[in-house]
Homo-oligomer: A and B are copies of this chain.
Amino acid sequence: MTSSSRRRGEIPLLLAMIYRAMNDEIHDRLAAEGREPLRPAHGYTFRLLLARDDVTTVALADHLGITKQAASKIAAELETWDYLERRPHPTDGRARVLALTAKGLAYVRHADELWGQAEDRWAAVIGPDRLDQIHADMRAYVDASGGRAALRPVW
């Protein structure tokens, strides 16, 4: 059966390998579409903005684990490419709220479809039931790690 041959400590490496393989695949396809030179940080920014609608530059910086100056630059790039806009904050005059534009939203949807296809390819190999199981087991780990596991950049 499955067991015996599992070397201790191999699991994390496999996680990295699979994520990296899927990531490469998606990146290649996005690059082939001739888009702006989006870097990982931009992708993580999209995903944060999708999850929350009250994101300021400082919040973005915190999420990405970089300084606010660097985060500001990321946001500025995305703004010039029309992926996001900086709107005045409703209550705080100092702050600005970062929000995806229609183009930005379309981009995330498109990327999500590609991620979905990568996932499908795994499902094709092991079957959807196993993938459901894996999904549940991964969720269990994330839930058990008490907030330590969040979708933050893997640099």
Residues of A within 8 A of B (CB): 1-3, 6, 8-25, 40, 47, 112-113, 115-116, 118-122, 125-126, 128-142, 144-145, 148-155
Which 4 residue pairs are nearest across A and B when measured between Cβ atoms?
A: A21-B149, A2-B136, A9-B116, A3-B132
Main secondary structure on A side of the interface with B: helix
Smallest distance from the beta carbon of A137 to chain B beta carbons, Å? 5
Q: Which residues of B contact A23 (CB under 8 A)?
A: 12, 154
- Are the C-beta atoms of A131 and B11 separated by less than 8 Å? yes
Smallest distance from the beta carbon of A64 to chain B beta carbons, Å? 12
Of chain B, the residue at the smallest CB distance from A127 is: B137
Task: Give Cα A10 to B16, complex, Å.
Answer: 16
